[in-house]
């Protein structure tokens, strides 16, 4: 069996990749247009956060004013799992999704 893809399959994959890139660019543009002024740039000032991650954060959190603190946002997003350990027991009270 030949491991090479046919030219037709390669063309289809290339088209899908181009459409995915275009959809990703449009997502970033749409999110930036609907976000509060400067929020995309502020999020991207965090090391490791680029335009797509910033747009994803805005899309997930939406109105950041509904949270009382940064800790509340971290808890909402399950990014700070808590582990309680005593003797032989180990209890996780959080999760990273």
Pairwise CA distance, residues 73 & 67, whole Å: 6
Q: In the chain, what percentage of residues exceed pLDDT 70? A: 79
The more confidently predicted of residues 59 and 14 is 14
pLDDT at residue 60, rounded to an integer: 86
DSSP letter at 89 equals E
Domain residue ranges of the chain, discontinuous segments joined by +: 7-65, 67-97
Residue 90 has what DSSP assignment? E
Joined together, the tokens standing for residue 28 give: 């970033």
Instruction: Give 81-97 pLDDT, tens digit per residue.
Output: 766 666 666 555 554 44
Helices and strands (DSSP H and E) totals, the chain: 4, 2
Q: What is the pLDDT of residue 65?
A: 87
Query: pTM for the complete prediction?
Result: 0.61
pLDDT band for 80, please (50, 70, 90 cuts): confident
- Nearest by Cα to 67 from 54, 76, 57, 56: 76
Tokens matching residue 37:
């002024």
């Amino acid at each position: 069996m030949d491991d090479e893809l046919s030219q037709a399959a390669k063309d289809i994959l290339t088209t899908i990749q181009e459409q995915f890139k275009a959809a990703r660019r449009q997502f970033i543009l749409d999110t930036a247009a609907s976000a509060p002024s400067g929020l995309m740039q502020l999020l991207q000032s965090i090391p490791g956060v680029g335009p797509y991650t910033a747009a994803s954060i805005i899309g997930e959190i939406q109105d950041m004013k509904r949270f009382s603190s940064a800790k509340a946002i971290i808890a909402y997003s399950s990014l700070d799992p808590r582990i309680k350990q005593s003797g032989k027991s180990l209890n996780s009270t959080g999760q990273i999704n």
